[in-house]
Amino acid sequence: MIEVKNINKSFGKKQILHDVSISFLRGKINLIIGASGSGKSVLTKCIVGLHEIDSGSVEYDGRNFSIMNFKQRKAVRKEIGMLFQGSALFDSLTVEENVKFPMEMYTKQSEEEILERVNFCLKRVQLENANHLYPAELSGGMQKRAALARAIALNPKYLFCDEPNSGLDPQTGIVIDNLIQEITHEYDMTTIVITHDMNSVMETGENISFIHQGNIWWTGNKEDILKTDNKELNEFVYSSKIMQKFKGL
Amino acid sequence: MVFHYVNIKNADDLYFRSSVRNIYFYILLTYMLKAFHHIGKYFLLLARVFKKPDNYKLYGRQTINEMVSLGLGSLGLISIISLFMGAVVTLQTVAAIDSPLIPLYTVGYATRQSFILELAPTIMCLILAGKIGSNISSEIGTMRITEQIDALEIMGVNSASYLIFPKIVAALFTIPMIVVYSMFLGLVGGWVVGLYSGMLTVEDYLYGIRWDFKTFDVIYALIKTLFFAFIITSIPSYHGYYTRGGALEIGKSSTKSVVYSSISILVINYILTQLLLI
């Protein structure tokens, strides 16, 4: 479980996050939804320590990440896997080398054991036979799957996914969402997914937080989201005119 | 009297001139503060770069890859430039010698001294600053904007050290070798001129390049090269590492890295020459 308590974050004079408190549950897909510029990515980067928070705390299973030094944070980060919006695969390495990378960096496993784990991870994301391809040779969906394989290589306790289906067609997007859901349940991970894709929300939303203007505006699950009368959330969910008509807004 | 000297006519004029002076002062101060900010940030980055490596095996492999990319990748360009530059320096020196009192072997001597003291270490490093520097800056800059550096950080890897340290080590090993190779090829270029131009004999040229040879000149050149190798890799790495934005900013970082590396090479060249030769 990850607990975010009263965090604030500003860039210069512009405050992005206002006293945000939120809990991400273990074994569930925790979605953060919101419009572009609402602070979703900043919140995630604050949670993983890519941005330093101004005040508040982030706790990983009771361990206060915000006050840790570099060495302590490093230990926690080995338990984190992250799938980036643009996949962030290392261009100069093949798919196999990308997935191998965290294992070679942190484990003392033999070459055979590492290769076995790489093949297992690639099979898990349905990307067999792509071992020797470079990221530039992969389609968008394949890149996401390769990045997911790299993210789960060290068997992480926490998985962060920043817009995992952005730039993908709806069907491939759903495949990625289902994969994340299966992996989360299979390995009992605390998974946090940032998205503004309503298909994803309806497919995987077990614990949803709606962020608006740097505040947590609403929390619930995929059933609740259809019944809510929260004005800002409804404007976000039913943004097209036809959907607004359907909802009766 | 003073007013007359600076040609100030009234109080308004005096105010205007002092305002202009203030603006110049303000601009100068802003540039100085910016420069100190970047110098501080550069040294803080270096402090991260020289932390204990996370995994020696991976760093070693990365260093070898960098040696191949930085060293072997530059050999072709350096060979062509050195050969032609050696040939041209020899021709120019021959052309400049009018007096029959000056022996022709001084052509070989002048070519050797030019190459060992300045052309091979400084000019070749300036060329490498353009070639290697822009390459490093754009490579690391692209990694920054495509979140590959963030991915390393999330894995708990010291990204600055993993990306920059092997480049610096590789450059410290390969660039001195490239410079020695350039010295050799520059002298070969002069020898070819002697052989085919008929303006001087090969015997004169070969005697000249051996005449009054001091080993310290090569040592001095190699000491300079080590400093330049560090500059060529660390400054572009700094600019690449702190790239923000998109493709346009990568281009800007690349240009900045070449400009600042070149200026730094020239300044360090002057300081080291003053310290080591004078």
B196-249 residue pLDDT tens:
888 888 899 999 999 989 999 999 999 999 999 999 999 999 999 999 988 999
Q: Which residues contact A34 (CB under 8 A, 6 or more apart)?
A: A40, A196, A210, A211, A212, A217, A236
C-alpha distance from B37 to closest chain A C-alpha (Å) = 17
> A50 touching B, CB under 8 A?
yes
Total number of domains constituting chain A: 1
Mean pLDDT of chain A: 87
Answer whether B188's CB lies under 8 Å from B108's CB.
no
> B13 touching A, CB under 8 A?
no
Q: Which residues contact B178 (CB under 8 A, 6 or more apart)?
A: B71, B74, B75, B78, B124, B128
Distance CA B6, CA A232 (A): 67
Residue-wise pLDDT for A76-86, tens only, equals 888 999 998 88
Q: Would you say residue B149 has pLDDT above 60?
A: yes
User: What CATH number is attached to the domain comprising A228?
Assistant: 3.40.50.300
Q: Would you say residue B2 has pLDDT above 50?
A: no
| Domain chopping of chain B, boundaries | 1-49, 55-277
Q: Would you say residue A178 has pLDDT above 70?
A: yes
The pLDDT, as a whole number, for residue B179 is 95
Tokens of B159: 């990204």
The pLDDT, as a whole number, for residue A74 is 86
C-alpha distance from A88 to closest chain B C-alpha (Å) = 5
Give me the residues paired with residue A30 across strands.
A192, A207
Q: Compute CA A168 distance to the chain's CA centroid, rounded to the nearest angstrom.
A: 16
Tokens of B272: 């080291």
Nearest to A82 among B54, B58, B151 (CB): B151
Domain boundaries, position A153: 2-247
Nearest to A88 among B57, B147, B156 (CB): B147
Task: Answer whether B154 sits within 8 Å of A50, measured CB to CB.
Answer: yes
Please identify which residue in the block is written with the tokens 């006293």: A19
pLDDT: is B175 or B14 the higher one?
Answer: B175
Give the ipTM of the model, two decimals please.
Answer: 0.85
Q: Residue A239 is inside which H or E element, if any?
A: none
The pLDDT, as a whole number, for residue A13 is 87
Spell out which residues of chain A touch residue B143, defining contact as CB-CB under 8 Å: 90-91
Nearest to B146 among A88, A104, A160 (CB): A88
Could you tell me the pLDDT band of residue A249, with boundaries at 50, 70 and 90? low
- The identity of residue A30, as a single letter, is N
Helical ranges in chain A per DSSP H: 40-48, 70-77, 95-106, 111-124, 140-152, 170-187, 198-204, 222-227, 231-237, 241-247
> A27 touching B, CB under 8 A?
no
The string over A175-195, giving b where at least 16 C-beta atoms fall within 10 Å of a residue's C-beta and e elsewhere, is bbbebbbebbeeeebbbbbbb
The DSSP-derived string for chain B is -HHHHHT--SHHHHHHHHHHHHHHHHHHHHHHHHHHHHHHHHHHHHHHHTSPPS-HHHHHHHHHHHHIIIIIHHHHHHHHHHHHHHHHHHHHHHHH---TTS-THHHHHHHHHHIIIIIIIIIHHHHHHHHHHHHHHHHHHHHHHTTHHHHHHHTT--HHHHHHHHHHHHHHHHHHHHHHHHHHHHHHHHHHHHHHHSSS-HHHHHHHHHTT--HHHHHHHHHHHHHHHHHHHHHHHHHHHT--SSHHHHHHHHHHHHHHHHHHHHHHHHHHHHHHH-
